[in-house]
Amino acid sequence: MKQTLRISEPHFHRLMRHLFPGDRDEHGAVITAGIVETPQGIRFLARDVILAKDGVDYVPGTRGYRALTTDFVVRVSDQCAREKLCYFAVHCHSGRDSVSFSSDDLASHRRGYPALLDITNGGPVGALVFAENAVAGEIWRPEGTSDLDKLTVVGSNIRHLFPSPPKSQYDRPAAYHRQSMLFGDRGQEALSKATVGIIGLGGVGALVNEWVARLGVGHIIAVDYDRVETTNLPRVVGATRFDAGEPFVSSRFGFVQSFGRWLSKHKVHIAARVARQANPHVRFDAIIGDIMDSSIANKLRTVDYLFLCADGMRPRLVFNALVHQYLIPGVQIGSKVPVDKKSGAVGDVFAVARRVLPFAGGGCLSCNKLIPADKLHDESLTPDERRRQQYVAEETITAPSVITLNAVAASHAVNDFLFGFQGLFRVDALPGYGMHYLRERRCDSIDVSAANDCLHCGLSNRSAFGRGDRWVLPCKTA
């Protein structure tokens, strides 16, 4: 069973500056982490990095070169116990691409970690040793010890560190020759092992689904509760008239129309067919349901990248929580054609792909006021409650939608996924996201902000950041 650790890019850079300041000496720290446990493996999620001050918290050891002081360990482990977090002691060794624990390191684990398991109520607890481009880890649980397989740095570019350079026996399919010329066979292998989540398989999600399948992504988890209708056919990739229940839904007889609607296919099943046509080796999980249901949202908590292609504030809330609570990079995608209700005049048509990275300043939808509380409240009301409170029944208003507008936003979103996943973004790549105004042929760069007290990306005691399964998603429970 694989065990991995994910850490946000700002936390990783802060840690590495502390461990490798240029003096070639040893330094220490502790990572507090949330956890995700599945039958397939365990993923630890770095919530915070607590640096040990040299000569105060990290001092000459009696049985090894240096060690964390008892006071420092007690203080941080007590915090982990209170907040139900995992504890990882960190130090560094010389070297670059390979690293391992010394015999003194392993002996210190045997002396101290059984007690740490008790203090932290079963942990897990562990240790990490870093070289400049490598990391090794030992994880202690009540039932035994095991090794860390890899560490993933989640940022604009995704980066993976291992105890030593991994060996590959991947045999790239000939179909991917041209695109692997951009990022190499190792990059293609990484795509084949990647898991992508797609929320909403309508006009935008259908495009994203086909494109990530054609890139060679190995596992797609798709969530949507809706069936295809005739009006969806110009936008939903791969959908046929029969998929929409034609010709029955066009009948003048009500019972025949009902039969046609029953016969129509769910959007996720059409997406599965399209993905398998594009990539016969893809593993596709077609989930019929609402992302607001906790049992469904939890199926996305171990994906490597998350695409939000559904409308509404409630899906945005759950998406934003998944990104930050589980350290999953993602993107919210959409296009809009505003039309004046009285005159019918078309306003500023725009398409947007808002990348959201799991750290403060990474594009959090809550910090940037993209999940307004009043609209979130409105969506939680039943139709009867809306009418009683004289809200506009938005579900009765059909907004214009065109596949080419969806394609503008979807293409930028999938490119952001591909370039970030392959580490192709330049250091000076623009932050934020682009708003494409199609009538003006203009793209505006939008900066993002962060709020210190944010309950998603912040680090207050009330925030969900990096807590994983030991926190509750903002969903409905069965």
Which pTM value belongs to this model? 0.94
* Dihedral over alpha carbons 338, 339, 342, 344 (to 10 degrees): 160
- Express each pLDDT in 62-116 by its tens digit: 888 999 999 999 999 999 999 999 999 999 999 999 999 999 999 999 999 999 9
The DSSP secondary structure of 33-60, one letter per residue, reads EEEEEETTEEEEEEEEEEEPPBTTTEEE
Domain for residue 65, yes or no?
A: yes
Domain for residue 397, yes or no?
A: yes
Q: How confident is the model at residue 478 (pLDDT cuts 50, 70, 90)?
A: low
Mean pLDDT, residues 320-330: 98
Query: Does 25 share its domain with 154?
Result: yes
First to last CA, the chain: 29
Of the CA atoms within 13 Å of residue 345, those in its CB half-sphere come to 4
pLDDT on residue 109: 95
Query: Does 192 share its domain with 313?
Result: yes
Report the percentage of the chain scoring pLDDT > 70.
Answer: 95
Domain for residue 401, yes or no?
A: yes
Residue 391 has pLDDT above 50, yes or no: no
Q: How confident is the model at residue 317 (pLDDT cuts 50, 70, 90)?
A: very high
CATH, residue 336: 3.40.50.720
Burial (0-12, 13-18, 19+ Cβ within 10 Å), 406: buried
Domain for residue 100, yes or no?
A: yes
Query: Does 302 share its domain with 382?
Result: yes
Mean pLDDT, residues 118-146: 95
Query: Does 286 share its domain with 404?
Result: yes
Q: How confident is the model at residue 392 (pLDDT cuts 50, 70, 90)?
A: very low
Domain for residue 248, yes or no?
A: no
Query: Does 140 share its domain with 187?
Result: no
Mean pLDDT, residues 252-264: 92
Query: Does 6 share its domain with 137?
Result: yes
**Which residues are paired to 159 by β-bridges?**
153
pLDDT on residue 341: 84
Domain for residue 465, yes or no?
A: no
* Amino acid occupying residue 50: I
Q: Report the distance separating Cα 280 and Cα 374, nearest Å.
A: 45
Query: Does 126 share its domain with 210?
Result: no
**Which residues are paired to 70 by β-bridges?**
none
Question: In this structure, are residues 173 and 375 in contact, taking their beta carbons and an 8 Å threshold?
Answer: no
Q: How confident is the model at residue 52 (pLDDT cuts 50, 70, 90)?
A: very high
Q: How confident is the model at residue 142 (pLDDT cuts 50, 70, 90)?
A: very high
Q: By residue range, what is the domain housing residue 108?
A: 2-161
Q: Where are the alpha helices (DSSP H) in 193-312?
A: 203-215, 254-263, 267-278, 294-297
Residue 54 has pLDDT above 80, yes or no: yes
- Express each pLDDT in 418-457 by its tens digit: 999 999 999 999 999 999 999 999 999 999 999 989 999 9
- Express each pLDDT in 150-179 by its tens digit: 999 999 999 999 999 999 889 999 999 999
Domain for residue 435, yes or no?
A: yes
Domain for residue 478, yes or no?
A: no
Mean pLDDT, residues 305-331: 97
Q: How confident is the model at residue 397 (pLDDT cuts 50, 70, 90)?
A: low
Mean pLDDT, residues 390-413: 76
Q: How confident is the model at residue 373 (pLDDT cuts 50, 70, 90)?
A: confident
Rounded-to-5 percentages of helix, strand, coil across the chain: 35, 25, 40
Burial (0-12, 13-18, 19+ Cβ within 10 Å), 431: middle
Q: Report the distance separating Cα 136 and Cα 13, nearest Å.
A: 17
Q: Report the distance separating Cα 200 and Cα 206, nearest Å.
A: 8
- Mean pLDDT score of the chain, rounded to an integer? 93
Query: Does 152 share its domain with 95?
Result: yes
Least confident of 46-55, 135-144, 343-352: 343-352
Query: Does 142 share its domain with 190?
Result: no
Query: Does 157 share its domain with 203?
Result: no
* Amino acid occupying residue 413: A
CATH, residue 112: 3.40.140.10
Query: Does 183 share its domain with 305?
Result: yes
User: What is the tally of structural domains in the chain?
Assistant: 2
The residue ranking higher by pLDDT, 392 or 304, is: 304
Q: Report the distance separating Cα 199 and Cα 297, nearest Å.
A: 10
Query: Does 103 share its domain with 209?
Result: no
